[in-house]
Chain A
Amino acid sequence: MSATVQPRGRYEDLVVVRDLRKTFGATTAVDGVSFDVRRGQTWGLIGESGSGKTTTARMLLGLEPASGGSVDFDGTEIVRARPKTLLALRARMRMVFQDNGSAFNPRRTVGDQIAYGLHRFGIAEGREARRRVVDLVERVGLEESHLGRYVHEFSGGQRQRLGIARALVTDPDFLVLDEPTAALDVSVQAQVLNLLKDLQAERGLTMLLVTHNLALVEHMCDHAGVLERGRLVEAGPVDRLLTAPRTETTRVLLDAVLEPGAAGARA
C-alpha cells in the first residue's frame, strides 16, 4: 500500500472543486466551475456535447492539466500536485468510459487489463491479484472463464461490466462515470445502473455521473449541476433542480427527456 494515501472519511466532502478553468488557446472550455461532492453520494454533471463536462471530469482526476482553480480530493490538492502524489491518488479515483470497446486494448486479454491497476499501484501480485480480479468479475456478473478473452468477444453491456471491474479493482473511493450507459440497450442500461447502485452501497463509493440525460440524473444522483459552454449555470439538490429549474438551459434539457406516458408507467 502507498504511504501517502490520506485516511478515509476525514471530511464530509470527498471532492471540493473551486473555480476550475481550462483554456485551449483562445478557447475557454471550462470557465470557473465550483462544486462539492459529498462522500458516499452521486453528483450529476449535466451538459451536452461541447459543454466542457468531459474536460471537467478529466481535470478532477488529474488526467488533464487545469489552467486554473483547484480540486481538493480528500485533503490533497490535485491541480498543482506533483506526479508522484497524483500517481498515489490515481488508485483511489477511477473512471468508467462511455465506450469500453475502445477503452480496452483489443490485443490483450481483458483479465490482464483488469489486473493492471493492481500491479501498477503495487496493490497485489500473483495469486492474490488473480483472486481479487476473479472476485470482482464475478461480482459484476461475469465469469472467471471470461478473463482470457478479448474485448471484441463481449457485448456492449458486458464491456461496461468489465470497465466497472477494471475501475474498482484498486478499491477506489471515487468513481467518475462518463456517459456509462449511452451506448447500451435500455434493459442493459437498467442492469448497469442497478449494479452501480449496489456497488455504491456495498463499498461506500462516491460517484460523479457525467451525462446529458436528466432521467439518469433523477434516478442516480443526489446533487447535480448543469454545464453550458464551460460554465456551471445551475446546481443544487436533484429534487429541486429537476422540479423547479431556475435557468432556461435546465428547462430545455428537461423538455428533451422523452419518456413513456406517466399512466403507462404505472399500468
Chain B
Amino acid sequence: MRTANATTNGTTGAGPLLDVQDLSVDFHTDTGVVHAVRNVDLTIGPGEVLGLVGESGSGKSVTSLAVLGLLGTRRARITSGRILFQGEDLLTLPPKRLQALRGSHVGMVSQNALSALDPSCTIGAHLVEVIRRHQRLDRAAARAKALESLELVALPDAARRLRSYPHELSGGQRQRVVIALALACRPELLLADEPTTALDATVQKQVLDLLLSINAELGTAVLLVTHDFGVVSHVCDSVAVMRRGQVLERGAAAAVLRDPQHPYTRALVEAVPRLRLSEQERSVPRQRRRLPEFTEVAGGVGA
C-alpha cells in the first residue's frame, strides 16, 4: 500500500499507526458492572484495512468509540490499557489535543448517515465547518476544499450538491457525503462503524469500493467495524474477531477466511448465506438446506 502520504503526516512508517494495548472498558449500569471490552490488543499499520468483526454486544463498537475518545464518561470507564496513535497515548491526552486529533487525523463514518447530518444545513455548510475547525482557511478556500472532498467520493454533480440538503440525497449519496466529511482533513485513519449496513446491496458494494479506492489513493488506514464476513472478504487486509468483549482470533483476512482457527469464527463465516454453492451443497434440496446456527457451536466455544 502507498505509505508516502502517511509519512508526510508525521509517521515514521516503521511502527503501527494505531496500537491498542490491553484495553478494557467497563459499563456501570443499574444492574451492575458490564465488562464490555476485555484486554483487547489491536494494531493497524499505515494504509492497512482492518476488519473488526463481531455481533451485537461483542464490544466492537465500544472499542472503536474508545479509540476516538468518544465513550461517554458517565457510565463507561476505561479500566486498563493504552491507545497509541502515532506513538501518543490517546488516553492521557488533554481533551483539547484529543479534539484536534479527531477529524484532522482520525475520521469517523457512522452507520446511519441521516442521523450524522444536520437536516437544516446544506452539504457545503457541513464540510466548511469541519474544514475550518481544523485548518486556518477563509470561507472561499474552505469551500474549494469542500468541493474537492465531494469529488474525491465521486458524488455526481458535486458543485450543485454543495447547496443540497441531506434529505435531497439518496441513502448512498448521503453515505458518500459522510465519508467526504470524515476525509475532509485527510486523516491517516478512518473509523467506519457498519458503514453500509443500511444500504442496498449494489450501493453497499459501491461504497465499499469507494473506501478501497480512497485507501489506495490516499493511503488512509481503515478500521472497519462489521458483523458481516462477506464485507470483510471484499475489503479487509486483516481481521480481528470479537466476542463478549474479547478478541478471539486475529490474522490476515484471507487466512482467517480460508481456515478459521476458532469455532466461533468458523460459525460466523459459515452463517453468511452464499450464492456460489458447491455441487455437493447444491445436491441438497433447497427445503432441507440449513445455515449453521451459532448455538450449534456454542458448546465448543465455552462460556
A interface, CB within 8 angstroms of B: 48-49, 155-156, 185-191, 193-194, 197, 200-201, 212-216, 218-222, 238, 242, 252-267
Q: A187-B293, A215-B272, A218-B277 are in contact. Are A49 and B257 (CB under 8 A)?
A: no
**Residue B258 CB within 8 A of the other chain:** yes
**Residue B294 CB within 8 A of the other chain:** yes
Q: How far, in angstroms, from A219 to B274 measured CA to CA in the complex?
A: 7
- Distance in Å: Cβ of A265 to nearest Cβ of chain B: 6
**Residue B201 CB within 8 A of the other chain:** yes
Q: Are B56 and A186 in contact (CB under 8 A)?
A: no
Q: Are B272 and A186 in contact (CB under 8 A)?
A: yes
Q: Are A255 and B289 in contact (CB under 8 A)?
A: no
Q: Are A264 and B276 in contact (CB under 8 A)?
A: no
**Residue B278 CB within 8 A of the other chain:** yes
Q: A253-B201, A258-B205, A259-B233 are in contact. Are A242 and B293 (CB under 8 A)?
A: no
Instruction: List the 10 shortest-distance A-B pairs measured between CB atoms, nearest first.
Output: A258-B230, A190-B291, A187-B294, A264-B257, A215-B273, A256-B201, A48-B200, A185-B55, A256-B202, A186-B271
One digit per residue, 1 when the CB lies within 8 angstroms of any chain A CB and 0 when it does not, for chain B 144-159 equals 0000000000000000
Q: Are B258 and A213 in contact (CB under 8 A)?
A: no
The residue of chain A having its C-beta at the shortest distance from the C-beta of B203 within the complex is A48
Contact of A155 among B56, B257, B271 (CB under 8 A): B56
Q: A185-B227, A263-B258 are in contact. Are A256 and B276 (CB under 8 A)?
A: no
Given A48-B200, A48-B202, A186-B272, 14 additional A-B pairs, CB 8 A: A156-B56, A185-B56, A186-B271, A187-B55, A191-B295, A194-B293, A214-B275, A218-B277, A221-B286, A259-B233, A259-B274, A260-B233, A260-B272, A265-B274
Q: How far, in angstroms, from A242 to B274 measured CA to CA in the complex?
A: 11
In the assembled complex, 20 residue pairs joining A and B whose CB atoms fall closer than 8 Å, in A order, are A48-B201, A156-B56, A187-B268, A187-B293, A188-B294, A189-B273, A190-B293, A194-B290, A197-B290, A215-B272, A215-B273, A221-B286, A256-B201, A256-B202, A259-B230, A259-B273, A259-B274, A262-B274, A265-B274, A267-B260
Q: Are A258 and B200 in contact (CB under 8 A)?
A: no
**Residue B283 CB within 8 A of the other chain:** no
Contact of B227 among A186, A238, A263 (CB under 8 A): A186
Contact of A190 among B203, B229, B260, B271 (CB under 8 A): B271
Interface bin, chain B: 35 or more
**Residue B287 CB within 8 A of the other chain:** yes
Q: How far, in angstroms, from A185 to B242 measured CA to CA in the complex?
A: 14
Q: Are A264 and B259 in contact (CB under 8 A)?
A: yes
Q: A215-B275, A264-B258 are in contact. Are A258 and B269 (CB under 8 A)?
A: no
Q: Which of B245-283 touch A at CB < 8 Å?
A: 254, 257-260, 267-278
One digit per residue, 1 when the CB lies within 8 angstroms of any chain A CB and 0 when it does not, for chain B 3-17 equals 000000000000000
Q: Are B228 and A258 in contact (CB under 8 A)?
A: yes
Within 8 Å CB of B122, what residues of A? none
Q: Which of B143-187 touch A at CB < 8 Å?
A: 170-171
The residue of chain B having its C-beta at the shortest distance from the C-beta of A195 within the complex is B293
**Residue B99 CB within 8 A of the other chain:** no
**Residue B69 CB within 8 A of the other chain:** no
Q: Are A191 and B259 in contact (CB under 8 A)?
A: no
The residue of chain B having its C-beta at the shortest distance from the C-beta of A40 within the complex is B287
Q: Which of B174-232 touch A at CB < 8 Å?
A: 200-205, 208, 227-232
Q: How far, in angstroms, from A47 to B234 measured CA to CA in the complex?
A: 22
**Residue B45 CB within 8 A of the other chain:** no
Contact of A267 among B205, B234, B259 (CB under 8 A): B259
Within 8 Å CB of A220, what residues of B? 286
Within 8 Å CB of B290, what residues of A? 194, 197
- Distance in Å: Cβ of B124 to nearest Cβ of chain A: 25
Q: How far, in angstroms, from A238 to B286 measured CA to CA in the complex?
A: 10
Q: How far, in angstroms, from A191 to B56 measured CA to CA in the complex?
A: 15
**Residue B81 CB within 8 A of the other chain:** no
Q: A186-B227, A187-B294, A261-B258 are in contact. Are A252 and B275 (CB under 8 A)?
A: no
Within 8 Å CB of B270, what residues of A? 265
